[in-house]
Structure 1
Amino acid sequence: MRRLFLTGGSGYVGRNLVRHFVAQGVEVHALARSASACQLLRSLGAQPIEGDLFSPQLHTAMQGCDALIHAAADTQHGLASEAQQLTNVEGTRRVFAAAAQAQVARAVHLSTESVLLDGRPLVNADENHPYPAHPAGGYSASKAHAEQIALAAARTGIQVCVVRPRFVWGRDDTTALPQLLQAVDAGKFAWIGDGRYRTSTTHIGNLVHGIERALLAGKSGQCYFITDADVVEFRTFITNLLATQGRSMTDKAVPRWLVFAVAAISERLALLSGGRWHPPVTRQALATSAVEVTLNIGKARQDLGYAPVVTHAQGLAELAELYRTKTEAAG
């Protein structure tokens, strides 16, 4: 690749993609919605393109680019919203229409395992697993719709494939880890059940590597799970993750049936309130964190030549060292 167009460049995944491809000498053009996002992207070596997914000149910005990575998304796990539907569904439609008009040759659409979630366990699932009849929530439904739009773009001449990570973690995390730390520090964290169900995870380094492999070797019209090499116990992983930040875990737990019941009732009350009240927990959030979700990456290994480049031990050690350095600098 010589020139790459990236949406969501200032986000967690986007920042790491920019660093990776700039280091390889690729000219990265990254969409940015604000002056601060432009400044950040410029500092990382990208060429910021000020605008959003609905900018009328998006196709002009993409002209001359060899490839597209569509990483922008509304990832909130609350109730379904028109804003999330607009970003994830219509935004994806606009991005791929612009890419077709600009004659971009290859594209990777960043999706999620959540497109397959309905609140029940998902065990060693592969890419043949069907979409559920009743998605866990608005995020799952909108991202599944976005996937289908992206894959349909193959009919316009773009070689497009979909990458589905699960539980992205690691250095520079501004999403999952900060939320966990906030809950723990506020005394609001509790295990659902005993927390001893299995989960797949995806270190940010492995995700970046998987996306690169998908750009280079992905088969058009195909989806690929990208995860770490090992499946882990959810409770053990979260405990180890928070230990890297100097936190010890509580043994406090709540029954799984009770949490799901509270979520279902809360969602109904929130709808009756007309959006004036927000539920403390949703079935969308529980679908990703309260049951086993494990994925089979055999297809990515075979088609893409994907092999995880960061182990759990390496990722945790890196986080611990970054925390130690930050603490020493502050103290």
Structure 2
Amino acid sequence: MRIFVTGASGFVGGAAAKHFAARGHDVRAMSRSEASDEKIRALGATPVRCDLADVSASHLDGADAVVHCAAFVEQWGPIDAWKRFNIDGTAHTLKAAREAGAKRFIHISTESVLWRGQHLRGVDETYPRAPNSPYPYSWTKARAEELVEAANAPAFLTIILRPRFIWGPGDTTLLPTIERMMKIGQWMWINHGQAKTSTTHIANLVHAIELALTKGNGGQAYFVLDDGVRTMKEIISAIAATRGIKLPDKSVPSWLADTMAGVMEGAWRTFNLKGEPLTRFGAMIMSRDSVLIDAKARRELGYAPVISVEEGLRQLSAA
């Protein structure tokens, strides 16, 4: 199968491209630079020079399926960045995929499409999206999902996968953030890290992507999760421990973190300050429960985790 992957220079896209190339698929991947070309070739894939703004059917070159992983996932950035990457980029990629004759479009989304600042407890895919969320990442990913859902057609099946708290080897966000904040002495918990969370090991997400190449119902969203629920403190401390890092117990209440984040965002925008502030989204995501249900993926995709959290942690420690 010829598979076109966006975001292959990143965590999820890179893992997917490497997995499919190793299994003998013809993997082509969006690339914006020579450095990205090298990363993609190292994965066993073929780089295709284009980006989310100019991708066309010719770049996809007869792809059977598109795995759309590219997104602007930063918590801080230019005001228009989330829309350009997450909404407009998805629209361009959908158009290119349809015109290229691709049969499947697998969109990597997130539970963040549901966030308005509330807890998520025992939530499945019937829970309403938040296209008017106060958080740019959430509302742009929610609207991107709407585009993907609307594009579904008998000859062009679209599948939405929603992981939560992606972790594992190759992580470019969590461990680097922990290491950076520990180095400058700024790590602290919110509400002592007691928020409960579902998680998704990268191997389990890649397994779900592979299943979605041939299974699932078009126009549907699926949560993809590890087994079990843990507190933020439990899972983040365990991941940090795989690098020999012991996180301090220092904590602030959620009301204070939310207030600080709002003030800091306003100051950073007003005065164009350097660096990244604590964001409202960052404060929220660390203090609200996110307990999700993946029964739909197990039923319709045949999904089940291929690695446990415990084994994933053992592998990280040994790496």
Partner of 1:75: 73
Deviation at 1:54, TM superposition (A): 2.0
Deviation at 1:80, TM superposition (A): 6.6
Partner of 1:327: none
Report the TM-score, using the length of structure 2 for normalisation: 0.96
The residue type paired with residue 235 of structure 1 is K
The residue type paired with residue 254 of structure 2 is R
Partner of 1:238: 236
What is the rounded CA distance, in whole Å, between the counterparts of 2:264 and 2:179 in structure 1? Answer: 24
What is the rounded CA distance, in whole Å, between the counterparts of 1:12 and 1:133 in structure 2? Answer: 25
Unmatched 5+ stretches in structure 2: none
CA contact (8 A) 1:4 1:66 kept: yes
CA contact (8 A) 2:153 2:218 kept: no
Count of aligned pairs between the two proteins: 319
1:314 paired with 2:311, answer yes
Partner of 2:142: 144
1:33 paired with 2:32, answer yes
Tell me which of 104, 107, 110 is aligned to 1:109.
Answer: 107
1:97 paired with 2:103, answer no
The residue type paired with residue 293 of structure 2 is N
Per-residue CA deviations over 1:132-172 (Å, capped at 9, x if unaligned) read 37514111111111111111111484100100111110111
What is the rounded CA distance, in whole Å, between the counterparts of 1:156 and 1:31 in structure 2? Answer: 26
1:267 paired with 2:265, answer yes
CA contact (8 A) 1:123 1:294 kept: yes
CA contact (8 A) 1:200 1:295 kept: yes
What is the rounded CA distance, in whole Å, between the counterparts of 2:313 and 2:6 in structure 1? Answer: 28
The residue type paired with residue 119 of structure 2 is P
Corresponding residue SS for 1:260? helix
CA contact (8 A) 1:89 1:146 kept: yes
What is the rounded CA distance, in whole Å, between the counterparts of 2:134 and 2:288 in structure 1? Answer: 12
What is the rounded CA distance, in whole Å, between the counterparts of 2:127 and 2:159 in structure 1? Answer: 17
CA contact (8 A) 2:195 2:286 kept: no
Corresponding residue SS for 1:217? coil
Per-residue CA deviations over 1:180-199 (Å, capped at 9, x if unaligned) read 12112221011101211210
Corresponding residue SS for 1:216? coil
Partner of 2:43: 44
The residue type paired with residue 17 of structure 1 is A
Deviation at 1:13, TM superposition (A): 0.8
CA contact (8 A) 1:79 1:267 kept: no
CA contact (8 A) 1:78 1:285 kept: no
Corresponding residue SS for 2:186? coil
CA contact (8 A) 1:116 1:129 kept: yes
Deviation at 1:103, TM superposition (A): 1.0
Corresponding residue SS for 2:214? helix
What is the rounded CA distance, in whole Å, between the counterparts of 1:145 and 1:107 in structure 2? Answer: 16
Partner of 1:23: 22
What is the rounded CA distance, in whole Å, between the counterparts of 1:155 and 1:167 in structure 2? Answer: 30
Unmatched 5+ stretches in structure 1: 323-331
What is the rounded CA distance, in whole Å, between the counterparts of 2:78 and 2:286 in structure 1? Answer: 18
The residue type paired with residue 26 of structure 1 is H
The residue type paired with residue 62 of structure 1 is L
Deviation at 1:287, TM superposition (A): 2.5
